[in-house]
Chain A
Amino acid sequence: MNPGFADPTLDAQTSFRAVLDAMAQPGRILRLHASPAQPPAGLAPAAAALLLALTDADTPVWLDAGPAAAAWGRFHAGCRIVDDPRQASFVFASGPPPSQAALAQGSAEEPHLSATLVLEVAQLAAGSGWVLRGPGIDATARLLVLGAPADFLAQRAANLAAFPCGVDTILTCGPLLAALPRTTRVEAA
């Protein structure tokens, strides 16, 4: 079994602050400095740090990283691994993710009960690519994403139409992450 955070308290805090910054400023790329040194096979460092920092027995988790990652999550975070992505509050996808429409959406009265999708992509870069608008962004932000599913933006547009319901996405790439909360409007450049 690979180890988790070197310092469970402070590493979780550092990782959470990075996600909070990312969520508050959609499209901004942040580097996680406190990721587990040896994440399990199938989980990249940033995704592994998010799993440890945000999930526990209260949050059903779906992941496609394989049995080693599932066992690692169960041991270190104490999270319940579910087979059906619809039941998960956190969905960790390192391969093709489940359709966003198939994840928990929350309800009009309780939109916070929607799933958070953590999606591993091939590349994240600032300054070019998608044009982002919405809360947290001063006018526009640019985010280049390579390796997301071809219909990712179409899925997000449908997701946005159901606001305040909808899935929040965190894109991870190795030690990097950027967030696309449900309020962010994304245009392909």
Chain B
Amino acid sequence: MTTAAGYNFGYLDENSKRMIRRALLKAVAVPGYQVPFGSREMPLPYGWGTGGIQVTASIIGPDDVLKVIDQGADDTTNAVSIRRFFAKVAGVATTERTAEASIIQTRHRVPEAPLREGQILVYQVPMPEPMFRLEPRLAETRKLHALADYSIMHIKFYEDIARTGHIATSYNYPVMVDDRYLMSPSPIPSFDNPKLHRMPALQLFGAGREKRIYAVPPYTKVRSLDFEDHPFQPIRADGTCALCGSRESYLDEIVTDDRGGRMFICSDTDYCGTRAAGQEAAE
């Protein structure tokens, strides 16, 4: 293990880590509840994953293998820089393979490959409060959470249906955790919501600017909010990945020219690459 000189292991000082660790334990004990914490200044701006990074910095150890994805991709700026950051300040091994990672920090996607017990998925969260567009006063939403009164979210969904015929939310689709707390799953596509339900891996959520940490323990019930007559429907582009041919994975639409040309490819680069390599080997 080699770490950058002049920095504590994992960048954060021990007091900050301890404070975040205590918040994490309470977050796991009350699934879906947003625990306030003293978010620290990090060497990158709010909005670039400071919450996720602080959570990762507080849990990571020298034996961990870290994977970082941004919208499913391992090779985008945010993912590469966060992976390098931890390689530098914690000296940990990094990987792009979902199965090899012990900690996966993610922005806005859940990997396609099922996660297993013992893995930890760390979400970067821009806005932890699922009701903030309906009730901007945090003092008020805290009361609504205390009373488990989520009627304003149901009304919003009802009005969506009255206007458009369906629930007009395709990402950041709110979920009920263990039948108690309404939770923002972070801006993942609603396609990923079913993966949160009874996931064997531990899910931790960090919001740096909003200074909140929350968690979903393994095998916990996570239900996307809906109505009996308008059941939750995950959204996926009706297409086939141009690289690996997947019809099941979540797809990104790529514009290829200025004459309307476009193609779909998997948003999860590890899933797509593994499949494409398997097909080449078979040929």
- On chain A, the residues within 8 Å of B215 by CB distance are 24
CB-nearest residue of chain B to A184: B29
Q: Are A23 and B18 in contact (CB under 8 A)?
A: no
| Contact flags B269-282 to A (C-beta < 8 A → 1, else 0) | 00000000000000
Q: Are A53 and B21 in contact (CB under 8 A)?
A: yes
In the assembled complex, the Cα of A112 lies from the Cα of B33 at a distance in Å of 9
Contact of A112 among B30, B58, B181, B202 (CB under 8 A): B30
Q: Are B27 and A112 in contact (CB under 8 A)?
A: yes
Task: Confirm or deny: A151 has a beta carbon within 8 angstroms of a beta carbon on chain B.
Answer: no
Task: Confirm or deny: B22 has a beta carbon within 8 angstroms of a beta carbon on chain A.
Answer: yes
- On chain B, the residues within 8 Å of A137 by CB distance are 219
| Contact flags B174-211 to A (C-beta < 8 A → 1, else 0) | 00001011000000000000000010101000000000
In the assembled complex, the Cα of A116 lies from the Cα of B30 at a distance in Å of 13
Task: Confirm or deny: A129 has a beta carbon within 8 angstroms of a beta carbon on chain B.
Answer: no
**Which A39-78 residues sit within 8 Å CB-CB of chain B?**
53-56, 58-59
CB-nearest residue of chain B to A112: B26
Q: Which of A19, A107, A135 has the most CB of B within 10 A?
A: A135
Task: Confirm or deny: B156 has a beta carbon within 8 angstroms of a beta carbon on chain A.
Answer: no
Q: Which of A107, A112, A138 has the most CB of B within 10 A?
A: A112
Interface size class for chain B?
35 or more
Interface size class for chain A?
35 or more
- With A17-B59, A135-B220, A138-B219 known as contacts, the answer to whether A112 contacts B28 (CB < 8 A) is no
- With A9-B8, A135-B178 known as contacts, the answer to whether A182 contacts B22 (CB < 8 A) is no
Contact of A183 among B15, B17, B31 (CB under 8 A): B31
Task: Confirm or deny: B217 has a beta carbon within 8 angstroms of a beta carbon on chain A.
Answer: yes
- On chain B, the residues within 8 Å of A182 by CB distance are 29-30
Task: Confirm or deny: A97 has a beta carbon within 8 angstroms of a beta carbon on chain B.
Answer: no
- On chain A, the residues within 8 Å of B21 by CB distance are 16, 20, 53-54
- Looking at the assembled complex, report how far the CB atom of B9 sits from the nearest CB atom of chain A, in whole angstroms: 5
A-B contacts at CB below 8 angstroms, number: 107
| Contact flags B1-40 to A (C-beta < 8 A → 1, else 0) | 0000000111000110111011111111111010110000
Task: Confirm or deny: A13 has a beta carbon within 8 angstroms of a beta carbon on chain B.
Answer: yes
Q: Are A23 and B29 in contact (CB under 8 A)?
A: yes
Q: Are B142 and A183 in contact (CB under 8 A)?
A: no
Q: Are A136 and B146 in contact (CB under 8 A)?
A: no
CB-nearest residue of chain B to A8: B14
- On chain A, the residues within 8 Å of B10 by CB distance are 13
CB-nearest residue of chain A to B219: A138
Q: Are B59 and A16 in contact (CB under 8 A)?
A: yes
Task: Confirm or deny: B262 has a beta carbon within 8 angstroms of a beta carbon on chain A.
Answer: no
CB-nearest residue of chain A to B24: A20
| Contact flags B39-65 to A (C-beta < 8 A → 1, else 0) | 000000000000000000011111000
Task: Confirm or deny: B143 has a beta carbon within 8 angstroms of a beta carbon on chain A.
Answer: yes
- On chain B, the residues within 8 Å of A116 by CB distance are 25
- On chain B, the residues within 8 Å of A13 by CB distance are 9-10, 17, 59-61
- Looking at the assembled complex, report how far the CB atom of B152 sits from the nearest CB atom of chain A, in whole angstroms: 17
- With A56-B15, A164-B33 known as contacts, the answer to whether A9 contacts B146 (CB < 8 A) is no
Chain A residues with a Cβ under 8 A of chain B: 8-10, 12-14, 16-17, 19-21, 23-25, 53-56, 58-59, 107-112, 114, 116, 135-138, 163-164, 168, 181-183
9 pairs, A vs B, C-beta closer than 8 Å: A17-B59, A23-B217, A24-B215, A24-B218, A112-B33, A135-B31, A137-B219, A138-B200, A181-B29
Chain B residues with a Cβ under 8 A of chain A: 8-10, 14-15, 17-19, 21-31, 33, 35-36, 58-62, 117-118, 142-143, 145-147, 178, 180-181, 198, 200, 202, 215-221
